[in-house]
Amino acid sequence: MDKKSDFEMIIIGCGIAGASLAYFLAERGITDILILEREEQPGYHSTGRSAAVLVEFDLVPSTLQLKLLGGQFLRNPPTDFSETPLLQRSGILIMLQGALWKQARQMIPSLRQSGAIVEILNQEETVSMIPVLSPANFDGAVLLPEDGHIDVNELLWSYLRHAKRRGTQLRCEEEVREIKTDQGRCRGVITSRGEYGSRWVINAAGAWAGKIRGLAGPSPVQLTPHRRTIITFAAPEGMSVSKWPLVTDLSHDLYFAPESAGLMASPMDEDPVEPCDARPDELVVAQTIERLKELTPRLVPESISHKWAGLRTFAPDQAMVVGEDPVLKGFFWLSGQGGAGIETSAAVGQIAAELILDGRTKLIDAQVISPARFAV
């Protein structure tokens, strides 16, 4: 048995955040990494429950910037990174009404300047693309034809495969229970199975990131997990939906998209909850059907095939939380990815690796995502 108990880096959590950081650290030659994951397998929580799309549109400027950077990697990953393509350019259609439509149109020039391919559709063009929509519910739509479905499993396991090949160790079913500190510095962790020392401890614990920091004293960052629900169901008889983009109605909180042989939908619920193994709430499932009835009655299913819920974890200002803790040196936050942790993972993983190894990055203004912004 491997008795090694000191590592250069310990990453807590093996979702997409922890896996992407291990990959980018390994690319920079750091191979003495231990990833600790409490569950039986990587990606069990938020990473395994997402809608799996790249949407290069966001009202939070730093998140939009990270999506654009992450999108470049998904379209053109390094040679031999993955065994199959990471992105299926199935498209994203965003319907908007009133003030939101106005705001979205104002964003288009800068979106295009950043390199995003964006088309504006009027009501007629939108309905001819997705005939179940009613013009009464939206003023116009934004189409992102180069965005679409991400193969999350392939992305997660490609990060891990390369990191492991270079020496990263992954230990599942091992829970971090204590953070070791000494004179204001983080020195390692104590787990359900042992004790490890390390120069850096990285908090990639998703919905539990706030709790993890709490093990070492009051947290300077307040993170809140929000539950989001998805249902899947058969498409109406005779209706061909497999080539539809993901359709999201930002003014009425509903999205739907092709999924396996049928469709999936979400009422874009955002109920704040304690970190947990999220389960769908029956009222929210019923609300999804109600919203389909109001907005796209032809899609209302006779029965639901599957349903699940996952957690999207946000800081109060909705921007991500990436950087060294302002109080506890050697403790690094890689959290607060909200609803964009998959599509931004390549950008955020690279930025985190640069901040850890170089203390700076040219990819983004690191102050905007630093946990230090919350320090009193």
Ligand X SMILES: Cc1cc2nc3c(=O)[nH]c(=O)nc-3n(C[C@H](O)[C@H](O)[C@H](O)COP(=O)(O)OP(=O)(O)OC[C@H]3O[C@@H](n4cnc5c(N)ncnc54)[C@H](O)[C@@H]3O)c2cc1C
Please give the DSSP secondary-structure letter assigned to residue 329: B
Between 26 and 139, name the residue whose CB sits nearer to ligand X: 26
Least distance CB 19 / ligand X (angstroms): 7
Least distance CB 340 / ligand X (angstroms): 5
- Where along the sequence are the contacts to ligand X (CB under 6 A)? 12-18, 36-39, 43-47, 49-53, 175-176, 204-208, 212, 228, 230, 310-312, 337-343
Between 45 and 296, name the residue whose CB sits nearer to ligand X: 45
Least distance CB 334 / ligand X (angstroms): 7
Between 139 and 325, name the residue whose CB sits nearer to ligand X: 325
Between 241 and 311, name the residue whose CB sits nearer to ligand X: 311
Task: Write down the H helix ranges in 13-97.
Answer: 16-27, 61-75
Distance, in Å, from the CA atom of 202 to the CA atom of 17, rounded to the nearest integer, reads 10
Pairing of strands 271-272, 262-266: unpaired
Least distance CB 51 / ligand X (angstroms): 4
Phi/psi-derived region of residue 6, left when phi > 0, alpha when psi is between -120 and 50, beta in every other case? beta
Record the tokens describing residue 144, joined without a space. Answer: 């992102």
Of residues 51, 284, 315, 355, the one with CA closest to residue 207: 315
Between 39 and 154, name the residue whose CB sits nearer to ligand X: 39
Phi/psi-derived region of residue 224, left when phi > 0, alpha when psi is between -120 and 50, beta in every other case? beta
Between 43 and 323, name the residue whose CB sits nearer to ligand X: 43
How many C-beta atoms surround the C-beta of residue 302 within 10 A? 7
Least distance CB 138 / ligand X (angstroms): 21
Least distance CB 372 / ligand X (angstroms): 20
Distance, in Å, from the CA atom of 244 to the CA atom of 189, rounded to the nearest integer, reads 47
